[in-house]
Structure 1
Amino acid sequence: MKQNVNAGVLYFRDWLRQHEDDPTPLYIQLANGLRSLIQDGKLKVGEALPSERSIAEMTSLSRVTIRKGIELLVREGLLRQRRGSGTYVTGTVERIEQPLARLTSFSEDMISYGRRPSVRWIAREYARPSAREAMALGLSPGEDVVRLHRIRLADDLPLAVELAVVPAKYIPSLDQLGDSLYEALARANAHPDKALQRMHACALPPFEAQLLEADAGEPALHIERISRTKAGTAVEFTRSYYKGDRFDFVVELTLPRQEAPPEKA
């Protein structure tokens, strides 16, 4: 694999020499050249790029230039950086359609798309609710909540950061809580039946950007959801950040039926 990748970068070195008179900034030339190699199949999906030092030795570019060029392709989704491992070719940006007309869990959605959902826990704890959380969930004074802070992944790719707050009475034991909150609520006879969801575009905050292996300020979607049972009891207050380059939120719209005008006598 490494030999194939090195061969791809050598192709780029030759490409760069042929464009020595190009006034385009070198980091953009690097990104354009690597993009062409990926699209032509000379750098294959799943392969790792050589280190910045190796690319610098092969191309005579500075490591700052190389880093900036790679960052462009990471933002496009053609490359993916794994901490402590390296930079890998992904080839294409595959977007996920998230329906808005029905209430489903993240795990259910990912499974329906043939992806493997997983979770990295940031915090799982019983806590006193904030004033806003108590109001959203309609809690009585003295009631505790379970605060579930986690990174949601599909095929090991971090896609969202989620903070879910649930009345503690529905989660009697954190040891019995799996990766799916809705399954846990179903066992407590408190499965959500409907929800009010609000979303807006935002810049990814630094903390969430670090968790999502992204850059602070990248486009993101901030979503707030209050879920209720069929009886109208609030059982979940969730705030999430979704990577803006990975999701399309879709909803089917219908035109209200217009009544025919009354016939004239």
Structure 2
Amino acid sequence: MTITEYLRDAPPILSGTGPRYMQLRARLSDAIDAGILAPGNALPSERAICALTNLSRVTVRKAIQALVESGDVIQRQGSGSFVTEKAERLQQSLSHLTSFSEEMARRGMTTSVQVLDQSVSRPSRDERAALGLGADDLVSRLSRLRIADGRPLAIERAALPHDILPNPAAVTASLYDVMERSNRRPVRATQKISAINLAESDAALLRVPVGAAGLQIERLSYLPSDRVIEFTTSIFRGDAYDFVADLRL
């Protein structure tokens, strides 16, 4: 059964009880639960839903907005409304210094990347403080959307001293693999984890509703000499990750 058939053949909402937009919201939610609308599927247009249900455009819009607020639907500007893709929750250890590519490969998942920025420029104030750089030094920036089995899971924004990563465009998969080839792979790191609500731009990249829960991790990575060589801020989907720390006395 298609969503068009489901809406067309269902009892008229006008004859039900309760606010009409909530009745429509419940009907669309039932279609999602039943798999008639699968994760990633587009909802019919507002105009099409109006024609199928005999409801006003305002009522249909309120029903869809209620689904957005509940996290069941995401709206993409210029594209329409889509059923939110529910990510399988992953457990990631905080006790081991691994890259995203290494961690996903260990799970048997296929990874890909969307490059958002590969550039060299003067460091920002935060980058100077984190990396111990001067205002006239250069920093290499590498920002990427990390994808596993076709699902966007994390946004990584890394900054490294230019002498550590002279050519950020050389990183096509794992940053740590590139650093290891030049004997500059970090051996330890400190991380700060914060709970955040995703801003519009990051939510769009991760394909979740604006304001959805996320995790932000700031990482400082060190060489054996204790020199800081990596300052990375990563944004993770809150519905996809559990971070686990192994604590011992």
TM-score by length of 2: 0.82
- Answer yes or no: is the 8 Å Cα contact 1:194–1:227 preserved in 2: yes
Secondary structure at the counterpart of residue 197 of structure 1: strand
- Quote the offset at 1:91 in angstroms: 7.1
* Mapped contact 2:190–2:221 kept (Cα < 8 A): yes
Q: CA distance change for structure 1 residues 26 and 76 in 2, over 3 Å: closer, same or farther?
A: same
SS in 2 for 1:107: helix
**CA contact 2:90–2:240 (8 Å) conserved in 1:** yes
Secondary structure of the residue aligned to 2:163 is helix
Specify the alignment match of 2:220 in structure 1: 226
Change (3 A) 1:233 1:6: same
1:203 aligns with 2:197: yes
- Which letter maps to 2:231? F
- Please state whether the residue corresponding to 1:120 is helix, strand or coil: strand
Q: How does 1:22-101 map to 2 (within 5 A)?
A: 23=18, 25-44=19-38, 47-74=41-68, 78-79=72-73, 86-89=80-83, 92-101=86-95
**Is structure 2 residue 116 aligned with structure 1 residue 122?**
yes
What's the Cα RMSD here?
A: 3.0
Against the structure 1 CA distance between its residues 95 and 60, is the aligned structure 2 distance closer, same or farther, given a 3 Å change threshold?
farther
Corresponding residue SS for 2:239: coil
Provide closer, same or farther for how the CA distance between residues 138 and 45 of structure 1 changes in structure 2, counting only shifts above 3 A.
closer
How do residues 155-170 of structure 1 correspond to structure 2 at under 5 angstroms?
155-170=149-164
Greater Cα offset, 233-242 or 137-146: 137-146
How much identity, in percent, do the aligned residues show? 40
Residue type of the alignment partner of 1:14: P
With the length of structure 1 as denominator, give the TM-score of the two structures: 0.78
1:103 CA drift (Å): 1.6
> CA–CA distance in 1 between the matches of 2:152 and 2:145?
7
Q: Work out the CA distance in 2 between the residues paired with 1:105 and 1:176.
A: 16
In the TM superposition, what is the alpha-carbon distance from 1:17 to its structure 2 partner?
5.3
Tell me how far 1:198 sits from its aligned partner.
0.3
TM-aligned CA distance change 1:207 to 1:39, over 3 Å: closer
Q: Distance in 2 between matches of 1:95 and 1:75?
A: 21
Question: Offset of 1:142 from its aligned partner?
Answer: 3.9
Deviations 1:212-243 (A, max 9, x none): 34444332222211011334232210112223
Deviation at residue 199 of structure 1 after TM alignment: 1.1
Q: Output aligned runs, 1:167-206, within 5 Å.
A: 167-206=161-200
Larger radius of gyration: 1
Task: Give the whole-Å Cα distance in 1 for the aligned partners of 2:31 and 2:211.
Answer: 29
SS at match of 1:224: strand
Match of 1:8 in 2: 6
Aligned equivalents of 1:208 and 1:90: distance in 2? Answer: 15
Instruction: Identify unmatched segments of 5+ residues in structure 1.
Output: 257-265
- 1:138 aligned onto 2:136: no
Q: Is the 8 A contact 1:145 1:168 kept in 2?
A: yes
Contact 2:141–2:168 (8 Å) recurs in 1: no
Whole-angstrom distance in 2 between the partners of 1:109 and 1:77: 27
Q: Is the CA contact 1:121–1:150 (under 8 Å) kept in the aligned structure 2?
A: yes
Q: Are residues 144 and 35 of structure 1, via their aligned partners in 2, closer, same or farther at CA, if it must alter by over 3 Å?
A: same
Partners of 2:241 and 2:57 in 1: CA distance: 32
